[in-house]
Amino acid sequence: MSLSPECCDEKTGNRDGGALARQKRLICGLIIWCTLLTLGLATIAVFHFFNGASLDSGKHNNRSIYASTTPSPVTAHGSTTHSSDPTTLMMFDLGWGDNSYMEEQLKWKSNSDEDFIDLKKLLTFQKDGLYFLYLQVTLESKQSCNVTVEVKGDPKMSIERLSLSSQISQTKPSTGLMGKGFPATKGDTLTVTCKPAAKIKRSPSETYLGVIKIG
């Protein structure tokens, strides 16, 4: 049995029409999906833009708060200062001499050109300011008992709060490097003592003192 040409054309048209309809539905779905994706990406971009601006603003505010709350340098008198003086250093050693002496109060010799500390009797500060002190003391030989090396400020002056100490044991002949920052006013004095008295190595690489004026 054969089909008429009109019937074949009708069936072919139906198939083509169905395929075309499916294509249209697919295209519409893709358009909707692309639209939603675009809106989502735009939303994410806007969120990141404003969130980044907020973070930058927060960082700026934090820096402003830090800058406003960071204290200015304080002198020994308690007033703020913006000193432009350069950082200077004075170095001291015991000088080459007889290692046989038992020393209790160490007497230092300056090997620097700076003069903000006077050595006529004690270590006497000639200028107000902020300072950092570092020290190492090495004994000539092992001791039969522990030895305490101490840096102390004059208790009658503003430097009285300066106290720095280290103990040398029978197995460790050196204090190691000690250090501390502090304010001082003109006329303040400090001493370095060794108790009980002991023989101290006088080599500048083993026993030395330094004071840095930092403000």
Query: Which has more pLDDT, 27 or 126?
Result: 126
Contact 198, 204 (CB under 8 A): no
CA angle 165-132-163, nearest 5°? 25
Write the DSSP assignment of 19-36 as a string of letters. Answer: HHHHHHHHHHHHHHHHHH
- Residue 71 has, within 13 A of its CA and on its CB side, a CA count of 6
Listed by start position, the domains of the chain span 1-70, 88-213
Q: What is the pLDDT of residues 141-163, one digit of tens each?
A: 777 889 999 998 887 777 767 78
Contact 193, 150 (CB under 8 A): yes
Q: Which residue type occupies 214?
A: I
Name 119's Cβ contacts closer than 8 Å, sequence gap at least 6.
92, 108, 109, 110
- What pLDDT is attached to residue 27? 76
What is the b/e burial string over 58-78, where b = at least 16 CB atoms within 10 angstroms of the residue's CB?
A: eeeeeeeeeeeeeeeeebbee
Q: What is the pLDDT of residues 161-175, one digit of tens each?
A: 778 899 998 788 899
Expressed in angstroms, the distance from the first to the final Cα of the chain is: 115
Q: In the block, which residue shows the tokens 């358009």?
A: 31
- pLDDT greater than 80 at residue 199: yes
Which candidate, 121, 63, 113, 65, places its Cα nearest to that of 91?
Answer: 113
E strand or H helix that includes residue 58: helix 5-69
- What pLDDT is attached to residue 141? 79
Strands 163-168 and 147-153: antiparallel
Q: What is the pLDDT of residues 17-76, one digit of tens each?
A: 666 677 777 777 778 866 776 776 667 665 555 555 444 455 445 444 333 444 444 443
Q: What is the pTM of this model?
A: 0.58
Query: What is 88-213's CATH number?
Result: 2.60.120.40
Q: What is the pLDDT of residues 59-115, one digit of tens each?
A: 445 444 333 444 444 443 444 344 456 789 999 988 766 767 788 999 898 888 888
Cis before 196? omega within 30: yes
